[in-house]
Amino acid sequence: MSAGEALIHARGLTKRFGDLTAVDGIDFDVQRGEAFGFLGPNGAGKSSTMRMIGCVSPVTDGTLHVLGLDPARDGPQIRGRIGVVPQLDTLDNELTVRENLLIYGRYFGLSRRESRERADSLLEFVQLAERATDTVEPLSGGMKRRLTIARSLVNDPELMLLDEPTTGLDPQARHAVWDRLFRLKRQGVTLVLTTHYMDEAEQLCDRLVIMDRGKIAEEGSPLELIRRLSTREVVELRFPGDVPEVTPDVFDGRVARIEPLPDRLLLYTDDGDALVPRAHERLKPSSVLVRRSTLEDVFLRLTGRTLVD
């Protein structure tokens, strides 16, 4: 692999299941050391893409190189150098926490001694050392996720694939996972993750692509995408009854765009506070909230739909 080549390189990458096209000819590159995200709603093709990168799902069409290698030919070599946190846990609930790591280390060909050493240091890393000899079954969702992250690190991977790493976790558990991922990022591990949480994408990703219906809609850093595709601020208006129909010209050019949602109206503007009195006067909302634009707004603009229904 030459120094300039991307860690993951995809051109026209396609995955079809019978008549269904899950991933529809996408192009992207992931550079060494970056945290790269696939943001999109369920069914956008994120997991299918991840499974192709992880060499567990054959590519239907297009080009895919991972670590400069071809998944179709070099699957075992590639998988030996990456760490995978799958969407559904694949822990053995009846084995102990430590045994799950030991056995996984052995899959990678670590010696028993290496496996034990890695297991112990990784249990420290994910703060599960006290639970080492407990079976996995009674652990909380957050602990299981941390154990899965520890397990994905036994082979000291250059690249980590995290498929919805915090879906289903409570806020505290999510922060614990994010904290570990930040540390890994600082250590220079390349992270590729999928999420349908915009805050997760904003927190963790240096660069991301927004996926919708198997295609990449936009690409950039979170900040760049927000700057390019949304306004600085958003005024959210809620109403006692139906959401009224309005056009931006009501606000004398101060509103760039209006998104009507079933329960509220979003006004995109560069100065939210300045807009509030006018909004009150003209639309009589029951509540008004001024906030910064997020990736959610970018997604809404691109697809006309919200990320999490």
Partner 1 sequence: METRAEHLVPGTGQLWSYPLRAYEYWLRSYRRTWRGSVISSLVNPVLYLTALGVGLGSVMKRNGNALGVPYVDYVAPGMLGATCMQIASFESAYPIMAAIRWTRQFHAMLATPLRIRDVIVGHQLYVASRVAFVSAVYLGIIAAFGAVRSPMAIAAWPVAIILGLAFSAPVSAMAAWLQKDEGFNALFRFGVTPMFLFSGTFFPVTQLPHGFREIAYATPLWHAVDLMRHLTLGTATLWPALGHVAYLLAWFAAGMLLARRTYTNRLVT
**Contact positions vs partner 1 (CB under 8 A):** 1, 17, 54, 56-58, 75-77, 79-81, 84, 86, 88-95, 99, 102-104, 106-110, 155-158
Smallest separation (angstroms) from partner 1 to the CB of 20 = 12
Smallest separation (angstroms) from partner 1 to the CB of 82 = 9
Smallest separation (angstroms) from partner 1 to the CB of 259 = 37
> In this structure, how many other beta carbons lie within 10 angstroms of the beta carbon of residue 142?
18
- In the complex with partner 1, which residue's Cβ is closer, 60 or 306? 60
Residue 158: exposed, middle, or buried by beta-carbon count in 10 A (0-12, 13-18, 19+)?
middle
- In the complex with partner 1, which residue's Cβ is closer, 137 or 224? 137
Instruction: Region of 240 please: left (phi>0), alpha (psi -120 to 50) or beta.
Output: alpha
- In the complex with partner 1, which residue's Cβ is closer, 135 or 203? 135
- In the complex with partner 1, which residue's Cβ is closer, 77 or 203? 77
Query: Who contacts 158 (Cβ-Cβ below 8 Å, separation ≥6)?
Result: 7, 32, 67, 81, 82, 189, 190
Smallest separation (angstroms) from partner 1 to the CB of 156 = 5
For 158, the token pair is 């250059």
- In the complex with partner 1, which residue's Cβ is closer, 40 or 54? 54
Cα–Cα dist 161/30, whole Å: 12
Smallest separation (angstroms) from partner 1 to the CB of 168 = 16
- In the complex with partner 1, which residue's Cβ is closer, 41 or 75? 75
Q: Which of 174, 163, 237 is nearest to 203 (CA)?
A: 174
Smallest separation (angstroms) from partner 1 to the CB of 77 = 6
- In the complex with partner 1, which residue's Cβ is closer, 25 or 80? 80
Smallest separation (angstroms) from partner 1 to the CB of 268 = 41
Cα–Cα dist 47/52, whole Å: 9
Instruction: Region of 49 please: left (phi>0), alpha (psi -120 to 50) or beta.
Output: alpha
Cα–Cα dist 115/102, whole Å: 5
Cα–Cα dist 46/196, whole Å: 10
SS3 292: strand
